[in-house]
Amino acid sequence: MKKLVLSLAVLSALGAASIAQAAPADGAKGLIKFTGAINADTCVLSSPSGTIAGKTLTVDMNEVPAASLGSEESPTTTGNGLTAEAKDLDLDIQCATGTKVSMTLTPSAPSGKGIAVQGGAKNVQIMLTRDGSVVDFTSGSADIAANAAVEGKFRVPLKAYYTRAAGKALADVTIGQANATVNYVLKYE
């Protein structure tokens, strides 16, 4: 009888030990934090022509030879046999179904019909064209109508050129960094 009780006690102890070993131990602990906000925007801007972080689209204009700069009147023509280099700037706007949208572009600093650059380059500006026509910033901003929506998506096809500033000759151009910014506002109807 003692052997039976002792055997049961040993088996019980082994069973309890194996159950205790099978229980997982707590490991690393932490917190998952979700942040964000809900806004009233019914459209979102994106572009295959650059990178977007938040609501800022960055377009790399690359290095452009000064000799390839067109003029404000004709951004696509250099007049010296070189081809003016354009950067495609397709703005894609995704909107809620039924939304009509237009866009206003406002350079941080206009330069004639174009966008003033900052950095070392002088007598240079950025010109935007749409369907071969200059987007004119003489008034300080330009309104751009979006193309017809296809499944709630709009595309605004633009081209960006470095050009000589209005009235400046190629000899007036100073090479260097040529950065610029333009604010955009989407308007809903």
Q: Does domain 43-188 bear CATH number 2.60.120.10?
A: no
On whether the pTM is more than 0.95, the answer is: no
56-83 confidence digits (pLDDT tens): 889 999 888 998 899 988 888 776 767 7
Distance of CA 75 to the CA centre of its chain: 24
| Structural domain spans, the chain | 43-188
Indicate if the pLDDT at residue 26 is higher than 60: yes
**pLDDT, tens digit, 9 for 90 and up, residues 147-176:** 667 777 888 899 999 999 999 999 999 999
* pLDDT higher than 70, residue 100: yes
